[in-house]
Amino acid sequence: MRIKEFEELCGFRPKFGYFEFEYLFNKTHTLSVRLENTKLLKLIKRLAGLAYPDEKYAHVRDRRWFHFFLPLRRGKAIVVPLAIVNYGDMFALIPNNFTSIEVYPGSSKIEKYYYEVVKEALRFSKVLKKHTGIVKKCLPFDIRTGRVLGKYVLGGVLSKKEKARILNRYKANLKRMKFLHAISLEDYLNTAAICYKSAFGKETEALAPIEMYKRWADGRDCGMLKIKNKTSERAFTYWLKHKSLCGGHPFEIVFSWFEHGIHLYPPYKEQPWFLLCVTNYAYVKKYIKMTEALIKNNVPFKARDFENVLNYLAGETYFRVNEYAKHFVFYSPELKNIRKYIEWDPIKTPKWK
């Protein structure tokens, strides 16, 4: 909405510019800022008091409001969603995708713009009560939330035919696989080597299985590589029962700084097969290569979340838009070609008293 049009409708211009607000609420680069100021606390309570909570948990004194808005200037008039959370004597003000502020009773001096932001939200709430449609006109595509199928975001997705082929091979392997019981460290490393060779190809040439593990695994192996008799099933079983739970990641065969990478868990009595898992979806293509290699080599294994991974690679998984999630994307001018495929969340406003 043009600023002049906004001013004519609301009777005032937005007080803050978007980039000024972005600086004020992102300058600490933390998830939240703690403030102890009763005056600010009362202002936030006053804003929250205009509406009924969207969620309420009496047994823990927890109340939440999700649909307030703050007007800003960014070439034109826009609005940013504001949430409020009350827990005990704390009120948190949470601008969408910005640093939140947690406010407690106290007399600490704070910068005056915190008061002004809440006052601006109070002033806009009077307009919002009368003109609900203003939000749709002022909520930009890079702030509004929604969801979009991965096929519109990812490149080179699996065809339905290829997805079906991979899935059918995996299911067939489940039906015919023989159960394992005890294995040795050498058996484990040789199975991991099958995975490494399929995922990293030429990089594995001239490397022994233990060298592959040292190159790509997490490294915190809980002493696994120190097992003296690497061909002994008893030695590996003893280590599994008594030493493997040291807080390390001995079975993360592909390390990831973000979340976890790829895990290959060994078989044991209650689960007599290998278990292959992927956490960071940046590794899903390597993960699928590993599953196909294990099937080719008749290794008894199960792949956790296998169908979810295939759905992702086929572009059938939803990505959240402008909101952090397992899979997400932030809208930008470069992505305007996907806008027609985005399923926007319904625009909601407070439940006014």
Q: Which of 57-61, 131-135, 192-196 has the lowest mean pLDDT?
A: 57-61
State the Cα–Cα distance between residues 123 and 82, nearest whole angstrom.
14
- State the Cα–Cα distance between residues 308 and 318, nearest whole angstrom: 11
- Is residue 27 very low, low, confident or very high in pLDDT (cuts 50, 70, 90)? low
Q: What is the mean pLDDT of residues 262-268?
A: 95
Q: Please name which of 284, 264, 263 lies closest in space to residue 326, comparing C-alpha atoms.
A: 284
Q: Strand runs (DSSP E) across 150-203, as ranges?
A: none
Burial (Cβ within 10 Å: 0-12, 13-18, ≥19) of residue 253 = buried
Is 145 within 8 Å of 300 (Cβ atoms)?
A: no
Q: Tell me if residue 111 falls in helix, strand or coil.
A: coil
- pLDDT band, very low/low/confident/very high, at 28 (cuts 50, 70, 90): low
Helix (H) or strand (E) holding 92: strand 90-95
Joined together, the tokens standing for residue 298 give: 């008749």
Count of alpha carbons within 13 Å of 122, Cβ hemisphere only? Answer: 15
Q: Residues 345, 150: contact at Cβ < 8 Å? A: no
CB contact at 8 A, 87 and 103: no
What pLDDT is stored for residue 283 in this prediction?
Answer: 96
**pLDDT beyond 80 at 285:** yes
HEC-encoded secondary structure of 15-39: CEEHHHHHHHHHCCCCCEEEEEEHH
What percent of the chain has pLDDT above 70?
Answer: 99
By the 10 Å C-beta count (0-12 exposed, 13-18 middle, 19+ buried), 261 is classed as buried
Mean pLDDT of 58-70: 90
Note the pLDDT tens digit of each residue in 90-107: 999 999 878 899 999 999
Instruction: Report which DSSP code applies to 337.
Output: G
Beta-strand ranges (E) seen in the chain are 16-17, 32-36, 51-52, 55-57, 62-73, 77-87, 90-95, 100-104, 146-149, 252-254, 262-265, 274-278, 301-303, 318-321, 328-329, 343-344, 351-352
Q: Which helix (H) or strand (E) holds 196?
A: helix 185-200
pLDDT in tens, 118-167: 999 999 999 999 999 999 999 999 999 999 999 999 988 999 999 999 99
Work out the mean pLDDT of the chain and round it to a whole number: 93
pLDDT in tens, 199-229: 999 999 999 999 999 999 998 999 999 999 9
Asked whether 265 and 275 are in contact (CB, 8 A), the reply is: yes
Instruction: Tell me, yes or no, if the pTM score tops 0.75.
Output: yes
CA 102 from chain centre, in angstroms, equals 23
58 vs 288, more confident:
288
Contact 1, 76 (CB under 8 A): yes
Positive or negative torsion for Cα 222, 224, 226, 228: positive
Q: According to the model, what pLDDT value does residue 29 have? A: 63
Whether residue 134 contacts residue 128, with contact meaning beta carbons closer than 8 Å, is answered with: yes
Alpha-carbon span 146 to 338, nearest angstrom: 12
| Residue 241 vs residue 195, higher pLDDT | 195
Distance (Å, whole) CA 348 – CA 183: 57
Q: What pLDDT, on a 0 to 100 scale, did the predictor assign at position 247?
A: 85
* Residue 270 in this model has a pLDDT that exceeds 90: no
DSSP annotation of 250: T
Note the residue count of the chain: 353
Contact 189, 209 (CB under 8 A): yes
Domain ranges of the chain: 3-140, 160-313
Would you say 239 and 224 are in contact if contact means Cβ atoms under 8 Å apart? yes
314 in Cβ contact with 141 (< 8 Å): no
